[in-house]
Chains A and B, each alone.
Chain A
């Protein structure tokens, strides 16, 4: 099993550009989530999904969209990138929505200029 795979690992965007961060897991996990990690702020939840077709907002959802059309994939879309979205993004999954052990991807380092 590859576990949780995130692409790309690094990305530089200009203000106003849009892009999609990809996340895929091959463990048949129902629960998937996106976090951003900022210095001094820890990990903050952006969006999460408890199953295919179901998504919900986390603590810092503004400026991001998600969808969950399949169990395996949970892409994160930045609609119009802003410098405040410069961060490291982590995708994580767990077997159920009861937040058992979370499995994390390796992260995407995003810079918005």
Chain B
């Protein structure tokens, strides 16, 4: 069975502070992991995926197979980063989402 755990329902930080949204997974195969983001009144959209090893909007995420983690990080949070963030794990023909973490960035 595949499972994604996001331990924090809410993460509140001040503008300019570092951000780390945690994601842990459980999967018997070779994992493919993603971060999706839902800004207020917008559609859920892909933020980044581990195979691309890219930085999007200043966010990065590294897959740590030893710790089964895929934490999302940004060194300096901006107010426009406030959104709901979902970690997702690809299994056979399905994408399993975590319960999400709401990030609030205050001025």
Q: Which residues of A contact B (CB under 8 A)?
A: 31, 33, 35, 40-45, 48, 50, 56, 58-59, 90, 92, 97-99, 101-102, 104-107
Q: Which residues of B contact A (CB under 8 A)?
A: 6, 9, 32, 36, 43-46, 49, 86, 90, 93-100
Contact of B99 among A31, A42, A59, A105 (CB under 8 A): A42
Docked pose: A56 CA to B94 CA in angstroms: 10
B44→A48 contact, CB < 8 A? no
A99→B98 contact, CB < 8 A? no
Contact of A105 among B43, B94, B96 (CB under 8 A): B43
Docked pose: A90 CA to B36 CA in angstroms: 14
Taking A42-B86, A42-B99 as contacts, is the C-beta distance between A104 and B94 under 8 angstroms?
no
A101→B46 contact, CB < 8 A? yes
Docked pose: A33 CA to B90 CA in angstroms: 14
Docked pose: A42 CA to B97 CA in angstroms: 7
A48→B94 contact, CB < 8 A? yes
